[in-house]
């Protein structure tokens, strides 16, 4: 579907959206976040690299889940960590 430059982004047929507008890990430790990203493999929501805890990147590293989408209103893009590939949809 999105014209991504890597097979992981190209394999996504339906973009997962945020179930809750919160970082699933920050809420447990009462931390703040800046922007939210959604893991496209498990559908969980975590915070971006501008946030103090960078949970989305940590989740990608620990879980080997590769592709995230922005959860920000008006942003429609996907990002693949291992390929550093970015695609709008």
| Cα–Cα distance, 75 to 69 (Å, whole number) | 9
Task: Give residues 17-76 in contact with Zn ion (rule: CB under 5 A).
Answer: 23, 25-26, 33, 39, 41-42, 47, 53, 55, 63, 65
User: Three-state SS for 39?
Assistant: strand
Q: Between 12 and 25, whose beta carbon lies closer to Zn ion? A: 25
Binding of residue 80 to Zn ion (CB under 5 A) = yes
In the block, which residue shows the tokens 């959206």? 17
Site size toward Zn ion, by CB under 5 A: 16
- Determine which residue in the list 2, 8, 12, 36 makes contact with Zn ion, applying CB under 5 A: 8
Binding of residue 16 to Zn ion (CB under 5 A) = no
Residues that bind Zn ion (CB under 5 A): 6, 8, 23, 25-26, 33, 39, 41-42, 47, 53, 55, 63, 65, 80, 83
């Amino acid at each position: 579907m999105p014209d991504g430059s890597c097979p992981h982004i190209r394999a996504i047929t339906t973009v997962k959206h945020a179930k809750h507008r919160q970082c699933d890990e920050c809420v447990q430790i009462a931390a703040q976040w800046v922007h939210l990203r959604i893991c496209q493999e498990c559908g969980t929501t975590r915070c971006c690299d501008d946030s103090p805890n960078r949970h989305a990147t940590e989740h990608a590293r620990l879980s080997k889940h590769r592709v995230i989408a922005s959860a920000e209103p008006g942003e429609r893009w996907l990002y693949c960590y291992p390929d550093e590939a970015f695609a709008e949809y």
